[in-house]
Amino acid sequence: MNQALLLECAARYGTPLYVYDGDRVLEQYRSLYDFIDYDKLEIHYAMKANFNVGILKLLRDAGASLDTVSPGEVLLALKLGFDRSKIIYTANNMTDEEFEAVLSLGVTMNIGSLSRLEKIAKRHKGMRLCLRFNPDVTDGDSAATMTGGDLTKFGILFDDLDKVKALVDRGNLKVIGLHEHTGSGLQHTESVYRSMDNLMAIATPENFPDLEFMDFGGGFKVPYKPGEARVDYRQMGREIREKFVAFCQGYGRKLKLYFEPGKYMVAECGSLLVTVNTIKHNRTRTIVGCNSGFPQLIRPMLYGAYHRIVNLSNPDGKEAMYDVCGNICETGDRFAEQRPLPEVRESDVLSIENAGAYCYSMGGVYNLRPMPGEVVVVKGVPALVRPALTNEELVDRILAMSDGAIPKKA
């Protein structure tokens, strides 16, 4: 994002602050329609990556569909005016109560376990649903984000196809879609093709005669590290199209093609702006202390993820090596370790890049610090879509929520 604009946002709204480039989000969304030239393509944005209301509204107005994973996500989407027909619900390990609540909202349910399918076959005869299979392909940018393969909890194994068919018959169910999701930040385009092939192999008219769509999940990666190659999505789009068109010919009907990107849509569109308040020279390390911490951007600490850091205030400073740390009482509270940066001084504003996906949305208030505010920039104009709570407001909310639990003095 434009560095002058980021500095302006930091000055106007204070830090820590998330800033998202709304136009870039729309560009990312539209680029997939350009790359995957198939007229029945539907991009379901995985809103778990970033549920900022400003971003969701931009995508709603652009016609996007959604991938949702909790009753809360479905409720937010419906309240924002997303059409229920555009929402797919892919929760795992859901309770009966959650299942019934979401079902009653009329969105398409994506079912990833025999246990749930069995209950549906018993209680919801004739239901239209999507089935999630485990693609049997393992890929992702960290072990924690690989969803395919036997070691994960996701999807139904292909080995269980006969059991699935028996349950579908027993419940007279209508399987309108098949789904798989291989992982997040897929390192090899081959993995996308292999997962597609594996799922398409069982999607025969004999097995599933009522299919209306095939959903191949998300996982499209974007570069995080300097010099990391960008996937040739135009080429990948061509291959996907070719595969899917051939599949539809075999199936005998032109099906809809769904993808569910999260990172691809928003990761590169966001920055977390933080201000340096302390510089400490330890024996071997120079430690930069700033006014944010891992509860506000947890990916480096949780996955060892790399996020580029830009010193907005001193871009031409002499390069030195730093540990960039937060303000939380844990040693692992670091955004970067041994990172070369242009000289960092107290009061400098740093931008932690690629902070649009799974950063705010995975945040929390550990150590009782309010989450940063969020700004969305559209056509160069910033809007504070969600202000940060003050310390006072955060504490008052906690007290108000817990009020009934405070024992009254006798």
The residues of the shown chain that bind ligand LLP, judged by CB under 6 A, are: 46, 49, 67, 90, 145, 147, 181, 184-185, 217-220, 260-264, 299, 303, 357-358
Contact predicate 86/65, CB 8 Å = yes
Output 303 or 366, the one with its CB closest to ligand LLP: 303
> 34: burial class by Cβ within 10 Å (0-12, 13-18, 19+)?
exposed
Smallest distance, Å, CB 367 to ligand LLP? 21
Buried b (16+ CB within 10 A) or exposed e, 269-294: bbbbbbbbeeeeeeeeebebbbbbbb
Alpha helices by DSSP H, listed for 215-328, are 233-251, 263-266, 299-303
Smallest distance, Å, CB 13 to ligand LLP? 25
- Roughly how many angstroms between the first and final C-alpha of the chain, as a whole number? 58
The upper half-sphere exposure of residue 405, i.e. CA atoms within 13 Å in the direction of its Cβ, equals 5
Smallest distance, Å, CB 221 to ligand LLP? 7
Smallest distance, Å, CB 319 to ligand LLP? 28
Strands (E), 47-159: 65-68, 87-89, 108-111, 128-132
Output 13 or 264, the one with its CB closest to ligand LLP: 264
Smallest distance, Å, CB 251 to ligand LLP? 23
Selected catalytic residue, list 9, 130, 269, 329: 329
Output 177 or 185, the one with its CB closest to ligand LLP: 185
Smallest distance, Å, CB 185 to ligand LLP? 6
In angstroms, the CA 126 to CA 156 distance is 20
Give the three-class secondary structure for 241. Answer: helix
In angstroms, the CA 72 to CA 200 distance is 32
Pairing mode of beta strands 213-215, 17-21: unpaired
Nearest in space to 96 (alpha carbons), one of 59, 123, 66: 123
Output 171 or 218, the one with its CB closest to ligand LLP: 218
Let me know if 269 is a catalytic residue.
no
Pairing mode of beta strands 309-311, 286-290: unpaired
Give the three-class secondary structure for 354. Answer: coil
Contact predicate 65/88, CB 8 Å = yes
Smallest distance, Å, CB 157 to ligand LLP? 16
Catalytic center residues: 329
